[in-house]
């Protein structure tokens, strides 16, 4: 295992995506973002609908951003970048699922830890509306999800400890982190928008191996798990 990853619970891999793949992802998500914004009326109707249209994204309970589970492009990248991810952290990893977020100005992500299928996670920005970095905060201490709440509802609760790292990423950079052990969060976005994807993994022969493909038949399927 990568010793820095073992000690700190995260590592940064600059320029993790090759230029061709990054350019492809940027073009794809630029078109996707334009589509979901093509009409404020249609977007508002989609967000209010009881049956959510995944093409417009949904909003979760820990973030105010638009989210996309198992986007086809990112799921394909997940499979093709699996070995490079394993090499980066020095572990044999198996894919679980991917998640994409479109943060817009003032959107936040409250401090939380993740479920078992996110044993090792990769976070990578694709598009940012300006020259500001994508800033993520990660706690420097481990957290046992079985002993306490997985979500902290106030930044003050965690920031008053002062025991965390501020990590700045640019398009193509990747942050690998132990999402089940380390609190991570975002402050209100100052840029107009940020598009970021996540690839989640488990150790191939580890304690969470049952979450392979997030308990779906295969990569690319919609979310089928039962908590």
pTM: 0.88
Q: Which domains does the chain have, with CATH numbers?
A: 3-215 (2.60.120.620)
For residue 46, name the pLDDT band (cuts at 50, 70, 90). low
227/215 Cα distance (integer angstroms) = 11
For 31, how many CA atoms within 13 A lie in the half-sphere containing its CB?
Answer: 6
96/75 Cα distance (integer angstroms) = 10
Q: What is the pLDDT of residues 113-167, one digit of tens each?
A: 999 999 999 999 999 999 999 999 999 988 765 545 677 766 677 777 778 999 9
Q: How many helices (H) and strands (E) does the chain have?
A: 6, 11
């Amino acid at each position: 295992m990568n010793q820095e990853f073992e000690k700190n619970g995260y590592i940064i891999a600059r320029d993790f995506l090759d230029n061709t793949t990054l350019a492809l992802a940027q073009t794809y998500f630029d078109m996707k973002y334009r589509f979901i914004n093509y009409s404020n009326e249609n977007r508002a109707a989609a967000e209010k609908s009881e049956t959510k249209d995944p093409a417009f994204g949904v909003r979760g309970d820990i973030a105010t951003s638009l989210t996309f589970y198992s986007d086809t492009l990112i799921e394909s990248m997940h499979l093709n970048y699996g070995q490079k991810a394993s090499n980066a952290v020095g572990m044999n990893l198996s894919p679980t699922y991917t998640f994409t977020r479109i943060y817009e100005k003032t959107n936040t992500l409250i401090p939380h830890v993740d479920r078992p299928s996110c044993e090792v996670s990769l976070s990578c920005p694709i598009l940012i509306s300006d020259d500001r970095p994508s800033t993520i905060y990660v706690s420097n201490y481990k957290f046992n999800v079985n002993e306490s709440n997985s979500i902290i509802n106030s930044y003050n609760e965690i920031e008053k400890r002062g025991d965390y790292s501020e990590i700045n990423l640019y398009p193509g950079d990747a942050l690998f982190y132990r999402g089940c052990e380390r609190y991570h969060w975002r402050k209100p976005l100052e840029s107009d928008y940020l598009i970021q994807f996540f690839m989640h993994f488990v150790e191939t022969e580890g304690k969470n191996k049952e979450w392979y493909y997030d308990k779906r038949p295969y990569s690319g399927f919609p979310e089928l798990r039962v908590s």
